[in-house]
A and B are shown apart, each in its own frame.
Chain A
Amino acid sequence: MEIRVKQKRIDEERFLEMRKEVLAQWPTGKEVDLEEAVAYQLSLPESKNFMKVTEKARQEGETLIWPRAGTPVLEDEIALVKTLVDAGIRHIPVTIDSYTRLLQFEKAQQALEESIKTGRPMLNGYPIVNHGVKKTRKVVESVEAAFVPRGAGRLAMEIALASGMTAAGKSSLFEFGSYEKKTTLEECFEHSQYTDRLAGYYTERGAIISTDIHGLVPSGVFPFSVNIACIIIDSLVAAEQGVKSIMPQTHCLGHMAQDIAWMRLIPRLMREYLEKFGYKDVVVPGILANQIPLFPVPQGMGGAFAYLNYTAMVAALAEAEAVFVRTIDEGAGVATRESHALSYESANWILNVVRTQKIKCEIDGVETEEKVTDVEVRAILDKVLELGDGDVVIGSIKGVEAGVIDSPFSPNINIKDKVLGVKDVTGACRYLEFGNLPIPDEIKEFHREKIAERERAEGRKLDYQVAVEDLWALSKGRIVGAPSAS
């Protein structure tokens, strides 16, 4: 099979040609004038620049809260972001609706019109393409905060950046591993190289656009090493296209020592690999901790508050620059504006109180977890680079085919799904099935011992049913899953 995409910067002429096609996808594409947009970006205060806001938080020893903020009607969106800023929010991730994500702009238009007519939101996010640049600038100008579009495709990203949003939350492996059913990684790389190149274009002209990177996102009980390898791959891809500020996202899977170890390890390894491949001037402004596992169902307020604040606490102890917390309504669906405000107010309480104490946390196990994951990530990346003969893009495409990059819970049919994770006796995520992951033998043995320890403690074999029980653990107020009643 011939692979079209490579780890190579898109040349300017070709990029400008590609842009014409992208901007023609919907009439609002005409509102994007790149030179005017760069000038607009340069006129914005530092309080709207993602990298500068993040760096300020780092210098001041603060952890910023990421909310989720996207509603279809413009006036409602403005009211929502004002509520968030009043609750102390300074990074605003704007969730884009599913139709826009799937480039169904006509459907999004109908649903937007219906939302305006009925006063009831018919879309699960902000249809940025339909609103276009002029209207979206009104959102950006309405508050002092840095905006990040979530789930933006190429045209959505064009509009977001021209509207004054200063980060591009999109990466190829994330799109491939979490949202797509049949799309190949090669196609996802083509998309993200475009949006990365766009961010690079602004950056070269003085308007620094950051990108935030997720990795493959196995949203379950699964050690994070595959994901960290993917975060590094996507960082290298973004850097090649001229991105100079890359913020990684980690997932808090609940085990404090692991979550903190991963938060420490990710920026360190990213800097090392960026340096190794010659991207020496790329900044990693911070780490974003993302709250992932299931929320209490049926919605229990005690558990919901405890869980979101536990995540805030772990992020504070890890001295993360930002934390993506869910609201107390997560278990029930879409949060009300009041729930947003209440949830962030309570997380901010924890963040302020803990960060002010400047606690240097020595938690047993952090060092071991960091070492184990470090070895695993390097082994995966070595194999990827070997498969690509030094080209990280080609290596990743081949790596997915070979199961060197794999995930147990991906919706994408192109992912092998030969791997599985469960928790050990203390609630740390361990590999139960390694598939074709190139994990070194001594590390495999470490995982097997941890699995055997839990098997002895519970007097049963660990299997997929246990993986399911573990998935439920945190929503039931436990760190390790309990056998469910048959």
Chain B
Amino acid sequence: MKKQATVITGTVGMDAHVIGTKILSRALKDAGFNVVELGIQVSPEEFTEVAKKTKADAILMTSLYGMAELDLRGFKEKCKQAGLEDLILYIGGVLGVGRQDFKEVEKRFKKLGFERVYPPEANLESVIEDLWNDLRAKGKT
């Protein structure tokens, strides 16, 4: 690794579900990333503020309570306003209330500015591999 990449993790909105973000954070640390763990109930504003402050390369959000879409309305614009166009955005988890077609979910979140969208059963190794590839493609490592 040329440079240790800094990534931010956390559960977005008013959601208190923690297991996903904890296990993901640990996997990222083990893979050599500098991980800024924000834990549960992280507002979109906190994500962008911390991203600016830490000059982060990526944010990996999790959500389980189905309301992330509401929490993230206008998030892409907020990132732009904060000068974070270059930030890599991932999200994973249960991303809607009730039964969902994942293809539809993926489309909705890509529109919100997320480069990659993962279902709850996503494999962490492939997420980290995707992250390496995306960082490399943007010349961040």
Contacts and interface: CB of A to CB of B under 8 A. Distances in A.
A471 B94 CA distance: 16
Contacts of B40: 181, 411
Nearest to A469: B123
Interface residues of A, number: 27
B27 interface: yes
Interface stretch (B18-26, B77-85, B108-116): B18-26
Contacts of B66: 333
Contact of A333 (B18, B19, B30, B98): B98
B120 interface: yes
B97 A486 contact: no
A366 B9 CA distance: 40
A410 B124 contact: no
A18 interface: no
A144 interface: no
A56 to B, nearest CB: 35
A54 B22 CA distance: 38
Interface string B19-51: 100110011001000000001110000000000
B3 interface: no
B27 to A, nearest CB: 6
Interface residues of B, number: 24
A465 B122 CA distance: 12
B18 A464 contact: no
B39 A181 contact: yes
A259 to B, nearest CB: 20
B121 A220 contact: no
A484 B124 CA distance: 10
B2 interface: no
B99 to A, nearest CB: 5
A179 B14 CA distance: 11
A409 B14 contact: no
Given A332-B99, A333-B66, A411-B39, A464 B19 contact: no
A151 to B, nearest CB: 11
Given A181-B41, A408-B22, A468-B124, 12 more contacts: A178-B16, A181-B16, A181-B39, A181-B40, A334-B97, A409-B19, A409-B22, A410-B18, A411-B17, A464-B23, A484-B121, A486-B126
Complex A-B, nearest 4 residue pairs according to Cβ-Cβ distance, in ascending order: A411-B18, A411-B40, A409-B19, A484-B123
